[in-house]
A and B are shown apart, each in its own frame.
Chain A
């Protein structure tokens, strides 16, 4: 009897039916995917330790003992920083003037409330450290680190029965984390939403698989169809990490305006730029990204100055729900996200498409 191609070592390790991980910031999406046979990791980078603890309880109450994960964006480098006022004072007038020019040209409204950036103290290691301590105390089934290496908590996590996944954009990062003993390694390609390395998914996945040994490799970046999942398994992955796929699903709490933009977007409607934060990331194109890509734009400021500069635009657009101005992190696979379906249906469609893709190949070979 032929082996089920969707039954991978990642499935066996996590006790899940399908080798599909949904990365989401929405608890409802996470629970829907988990209860449909997939796995979900909830992004909690922006949440306080108390809010994270509450979210963990909320999920546990709804998944009947099934495993889930929590993702934190552990920093990998931190510049010397001062207070927000000190930082704001250092933004050059040329850059302030360019931001004002964009605001006037596109009639960007003022934010309705205080700018969130100014209320959050996460500009150093301390916040991430406290968030991490909650995950260890709560003994969440899986801790995923979305950027920095989680190696320093491996022993403590394993003692508590917690599995640790690391997300990497380079082979050397993968080697370091695999040697440290992470339970799975997420190889993220350039196609991905948000922060990405500069190596494509089709290159980094087999590269990491070649050194992973028994450690499951999870492919990330541009995975939005069953063909992508089938390809990822052929490249040596044991599963896929998907984010953009779930942004426009029924359960998602993403603003309907953004959902509509995602459903209409193609791969080249995304921009890989440092103009929002001073650090490279992939987002849906918007006037802010387009203007900073122009020949008259000043050089982008370093983090966190650029974020201080862009936060007025970002929050003004979001608070006032201006469809022509808003943006969201999105991967290049967004072109295949074309209808607003329940998360459960998305997962089942992905599985059927994958099996059909394999059947197409083996049928041709036979």
Chain B
């Protein structure tokens, strides 16, 4: 695991890898606050987990990296998204 700080703040972020999740299909009921406003919005994603995760702060707030997106908002241009673990749903069974 590597340790880093998140951009402009001193909040600690610790990177890690979960091999059991690597390659698994997952859906993310995503979204978030809209910067500069008091509003928020929702966004749905589906794709493949790389197994990479980042824990923010203590207690750890875990985020997984979802790539090869098969579902994303029509306007979403990125190829990847970080998904909060509580809003992430693994859709297939682990390979034996």
Contacts and interface: CB of A to CB of B under 8 A. Distances in A.
B96 interface: no
A277 B75 contact: no
Interface string A150-165: 1111011000000000
Contacts of A115: 36
Given A76-B30, A79-B76, A299-B75, A122 B35 contact: yes
A300 B33 contact: no
Contact of B59 (A128, A148, A155): A155
A146 interface: yes
B11 A79 contact: no
B94 interface: no
Interface in B34-51: 34-43, 45
A21 B11 CA distance: 32
A127 B77 CA distance: 24
Contacts of A196: 42
B88 to A, nearest CB: 9
A152 B82 contact: no
Contacts of B11: 125-126, 129-130
Interface string A37-55: 0000001011000000000
Contacts of A45: 33, 38, 40
B42 A149 contact: no
Given A76-B87, A77-B45, A277 B39 contact: yes
A170 B44 CA distance: 11
- Which one of B35, B56, B86, B87 has the greatest number of beta carbons of chain A within 10 Å? B35
B68 interface: no
Q: What is the size category of the interface that chain B forms with chain A?
A: 35 or more
Given A172-B89, A274-B73, A123 B35 contact: yes
Contacts of B59: 152-153, 155-156
Contacts of A170: 29
B73 A146 contact: no
B73 A78 contact: no
A130 to B, nearest CB: 7
Nearest to A283: B39
A126 B9 contact: yes
Given A73-B33, A173-B87, A278 B40 contact: no
Contacts of B52: none
B87 A146 contact: no
Interface stretch (A225-233, A256-264, A303-311, A336-344): A303-311
Given A146-B40, A172-B89, A303-B41, A74 B84 contact: yes
A264 B30 CA distance: 33
Nearest to A128: B33
A129 B61 contact: yes
B37 to A, nearest CB: 7
B70 interface: no
- Which one of B34, B40, B59 has the greatest number of beta carbons of chain A within 10 Å? B34
Given A76-B29, A77-B43, A149-B86, A300 B74 contact: yes
A314 interface: yes
Nearest to B27: A172
B87 A149 contact: yes
B72 to A, nearest CB: 9
A202 B13 CA distance: 41
- Which one of B30, B31, B43, B77 has the greatest number of beta carbons of chain A within 10 Å? B31
13 contacts: A74-B84, A76-B29, A77-B82, A129-B61, A276-B34, A277-B34, A278-B41, A279-B31, A279-B32, A279-B34, A283-B39, A302-B78, A303-B32
Given A115-B36, A303-B34, 4 more contacts: A45-B38, A76-B28, A76-B84, A78-B63
Closest 7 CB pairs of A and B: A279-B41, A149-B86, A77-B30, A117-B36, A75-B32, A76-B87, A126-B9
